[in-house]
Structure 1
């Protein structure tokens, strides 16, 4: 890791690229939402809720609004009755997928091996 360009001891973490990235994807659910949208390409609110399971309707709505405001996801609203809204990753959001893939690979390579009885 090249810490010269990322984090130095004399800088506040929030003023670095690392801190900025964490501000966009930090929290309990944002990475999970990005993961599901990367896997399914397009999803509706209730589909995301079912996949995540432990998230409330309100929390999911807040996370989606934040991700949309940050340009990570795209929200498409269709003018019909009942209303239909779909979410997908923006180009900016898709650029995070390789980072998530590397995190997944790191986890696979470093997680403890479970002994099965």
Structure 2
């Protein structure tokens, strides 16, 4: 998959400890999260605010999601995760440590902002 190759050639690959996704489809193609985990030998976490995906015409329930309560400061939030290569409790701890506001992981928030900025330049 392209995402695996992009990460492999990155000079930052050795700094990665986990890969997070908030969608199973990128650029219209479904990402095989298990293959990403196996190819890069890193844990993968799919994080959703809802148990379903709105990526298609109809909202479909993403398979394998587990409900998790995370605490960030005084805020408790329910998210749905699919951890690959780690257990649910470890995924919960990673999400709590990576979240600054409202229980949403900061790496995913920054990636979304960067993608929006890149799209606005087109």
Shared fold by TM > 0.5?
A: no
User: Per the shorter chain, which TM-score range?
Assistant: 0.3 to 0.5
Larger Rg: 1
Normalising by structure 2, report the TM-score: 0.36
Which of the two has greater strand per residue? 2
TM-score scaled by length of structure 1: 0.37
Q: Would you tell me which structure has more helix in proportion to its own residues?
A: 1
